[in-house]
Amino acid sequence: MKRHLIIIIPLIALLTFLAVQVFMIISIWRQEKENMLMRYESLTKEAAARLMVGKKANGFEKAMDITDKFAGLVIREKLPELSNAQDTANLKKKVLDQTYSILQKNEVLSSFTKEYIKKNGYSTAYKPFIWISYFSLLTDEGQFIIADTVPDDDEIAKTVIVVDSYKEEHNNFVIGYVSLINMNEIDSLVFKRAFFSILLITLSVLIVVLIFWITWRNLMEEKRLSGLKSDFINNMTHELKTPLSTITVAGRTLEKAQINSDPGKVLETARMISKQSVNLNQLINTILEVSLLERTEFELDRQKVSADELMHQIVSSFLTSCDGCAVLEEEYTAKGITLTVDIVYFTTMINNLLANAVKYCDKDPVVLVSTAADNNYFVISITDNGVGIPHEHIDHIFEKFYRVTHGNIHKTKGLGLGLYYVKRIATAHGGDVSVSSRPDHGSTFRIRLPL
Ligand code: ADP
């Protein structure tokens, strides 16, 4: 299967799964809400019916008596005084407000319903209210209409439940009114009820997302490693081919009869062969050592050495072996320190860092090698004036086969093993290695070894 399909198919599956889960949560929520509204509707209706059966009353009797007296008063005292439309409108408003307040203060249906709902184990977090749809005063001249309204559908909140509606005629007025409850806190009630289902779904979503993320990360890591390995094979082939082809050409040159008459040329060619053989040998050794490292732990042959002396010796031999390829400054502030290290591995470690300091430099290399003692650690710093390492590569350069790419190419030859080897040697000695770098300015590699 193509690589991108390996990622896209599970991603689609994951998104579908997420969509299904979200849909399920919404459905559960809606269903619970609907059930709850229905339950409250039947409970309130049951309560109203019980009141009616038990007390032969709807709970508004007292309110209606008071309203009747109030209506009589208005008919007698207020209506005759009305002289214009404004006064009439004002009076209607006042009468309606007063009626509302009488009804709310004196009805007993709400408290009875609350008791009933509580008894049934349900929350009473709702608001009861009354809505007067029709109200008129009965005068000698006929009905004086105070209110006659039909509610707009939009005006009634989706959370409002109708308990019952009534139409009554008394001595002084006719009224149509509805008893309602507003389940304004239904969302929190539904949340409490559906909490466990939602929690389980959310947990399952989290688990699936986590598994997906881990798998995806492993896949990406595998992809990256296989890229590194194929890079390594390309680099290794290239590195092996260069000395081999030089040796092949030199061998052919030696085979030619005329060269034998020039001992100087023969010697030069033989030296070339021997130099390239050494290179080849070193390369093969590096590869073998790393492959050995994979299978076995380091076996260190530790010896006590003077830190200053060993460092100076390594730096001098490096300089000689590379024909004075760099200016090497030495600054050993920690004097008279004795290290217990495997000299061969230690030398390889410092040599690798020095070689990189020279290799990754686009001007005349100037390298400062310094040592210091820091809290029971011996710290070796190698600072160069090279190309530096871009920030995004810093975390990876000690990984096996890792090489910094410039665009899509490697400017300098290498196998991506040098720093991996440095890290393994430092940790085998109980220490560590770190780097700080500024692109185009240079890098400092710091090795810490316990004293
Ligand atoms: P190699 O040199 O064979 O590529 P290393 O493991 O020694 O492998 O280094 C890994 C990468 O780290 C290199 O490809 C290089 O880009 C970067 N690097 C190492 N040392 C330095 C340095 N002193 N300055 C800049 N870049 C460096």
Determine the pLDDT at residue 228: 79
Task: Give the contacts of 240 (CB within 8 A, at least 6 positions apart).
Answer: 280, 283
For residue 303, what are the β-bridge partners? Answer: 341
Residue 225 alpha carbon to ligand 1 centre in Å? 17
At 155 the pLDDT is 60
Buried b (16+ CB within 10 A) or exposed e, 26-35: eebbeebbee
More confident residue, 252 or 423: 423
Q: What share of the chain is helix, strand, coil (3-state, %, to 5)?
A: 60, 20, 20
Write the CB contacts of 212 (distance below 8 Å, at least 6 apart in sequence): 10, 14
Residue-wise pLDDT tens digits, 184-234: 889 998 998 888 888 998 898 899 889 988 988 898 888 888 887 887 787
Structure tokens at 378: 């011996």
Helix (H, G, I), strand (E, B) or coil at 184: coil
Asked whether residue 380 carries a pLDDT value surpassing 90, the answer given is yes
Ligand 1 pocket mutation pick from 403, 409, 434 by most atoms within 8 angstroms of CB: 403
433 CA → ligand 1 middle, Å: 14
Between the CA of 364 and the centroid of ligand 1 the distance, in Å, is 17
Query: Ligand 1 mean position to 300 CA, how many Å?
Result: 25
Q: Whose CA is nearest to atom 2 of ligand 1?
A: 414
pLDDT of residue 371: 93
Q: Average pLDDT of 79-99? A: 92
Quick one: pLDDT at residue 3?
A: 62
Nearest atom in ligand 1 to 388's CA:
25
Ligand 1 atom closest to the CA of 414, numbered from 1: 3
Q: Which atom of ligand 1 is nearest to the CA of 420?
A: 6
Distance, in Å, from the CA atom of 41 to the CA atom of 44, rounded to the nearest integer, reads 5
Alpha-carbon gap, residue 110 to 118, rounded angstroms = 12
Cα of 397 to ligand 1 centre, how many Å? 7
Percent of the chain's residues with pLDDT above 90:
52
Contacts of 449 (CB under 8 A, 6+ apart): 339, 341, 377, 378, 380, 426, 429, 430, 431
Greater model confidence, 220 or 94: 94
- What is d(CA 377, CA 86) in angstroms, rounded to the nearest whole number? 96
**Burial (Cβ within 10 Å: 0-12, 13-18, ≥19) of residue 196:** exposed
How far is it, in rounded angstroms, from Cα 42 to Cα 30?
18
Residue 173 has pLDDT above 50, yes or no: yes
What is the model's pLDDT at position 156? Answer: 66
pLDDT band at 408 (very low <50, low <70, confident <90, very high): very low
Residue 158 buriedness (CB in 10 A; 0-12 / 13-18 / 19+): exposed
Q: Cβ(311)–Cβ(353) under 8 Å? A: no
Closest ligand 1 atom to residue 419 Cα is 6
pLDDT at 310 over 90: yes
Q: Which of 361, 419, 438 to mutate to test the pocket of ligand 1 (most atoms within 8 A of CB)?
A: 419
Rounded to the nearest angstrom, the distance between the alpha carbon of 416 and the centre of ligand 1 is 7
Q: How confident is the model at residue 415 (pLDDT cuts 50, 70, 90)?
A: confident
Stretch 304-314: mean pLDDT, rounded? 93
Indicate the helix (H) or strand (E) that contains 180: strand 173-182
Nearest-atom index, ligand 1, CA of 384: 23
* Each residue's pLDDT tens digit, 245-294: 888 888 888 887 677 777 788 888 888 888 888 888 888 887 777 777 76
Under DSSP, the state recorded for 322 is T
SS3 163: strand
The pLDDT tens digits for 120-169 are 999 999 999 999 999 999 999 899 999 998 766 666 677 889 898 999 99
Per-range mean pLDDT, top range of 7-21, 256-270, 274-288, 356-370: 356-370
Mutating to test ligand 1, I would choose from 286, 289, 356 the residue with most ligand atoms within 8 A of its C-beta, which is: 356
Higher pLDDT, 26 or 412: 26
Give the model's pLDDT for residue 99.
96
Say how many C-beta atoms besides its own lie within 10 A of residue 421's C-beta.
Answer: 19
DSSP 333-360: -STT-EEEEEHHHHHHHHHHHHHHHHHT
Confirm whether pTM is higher than 0.85: no
Packing angle, helices 186-255 and 3-55, rounded to 10: 170
Does the pLDDT value for residue 409 go beyond 50? no
d(CA 91, CA 74): 9
Q: Residues lining ligand 1, CB < 6 A?
A: 356-357, 360, 384, 386-389, 397, 402-404, 414-420, 443
Amino acid at 262: D
CA of 254 to the centre of ligand 1 (A): 37
Taking the centre of ligand 1 as the mean of its atom positions, its distance from the CA of residue 91, in whole angstroms, is 93
Give the nearest ligand 1 atom to 361 CA: 24
Write the CA distances from 164 to 19, 126, 154, 224, 344, integer angstroms.
Answer: 41, 16, 20, 71, 97
> In this predicted structure, what is the pLDDT of residue 295?
67
Atom of ligand 1 nearest to the CA of 352: 7
Tokens of 365: 């290399």
Q: Which residue's alpha carbon is at the smallest distance from atom 11 of ligand 1?
A: 403
Task: Give residue 130 CA to ligand 1 midpoint distance, Å.
Answer: 82
* Local confidence band at 429 (pLDDT 50, 70, 90 cut-offs): very high
- Report the nearest atom of ligand 1 relative to the CA of 386: 24
Q: How many CB atoms lie within 10 A of CB 105?
A: 10
Q: What is the pLDDT of residue 406?
A: 60
Distance from residue 232's CA to the centre of ligand 1 (Å): 14
What is the Cα 116 distance to its own chain's centre? 49
Query: What's the whole-number mean pLDDT along residues 404-419?
Result: 70
The rounded distance, in Å, linking the Cα atoms of 245 and 370 is 40
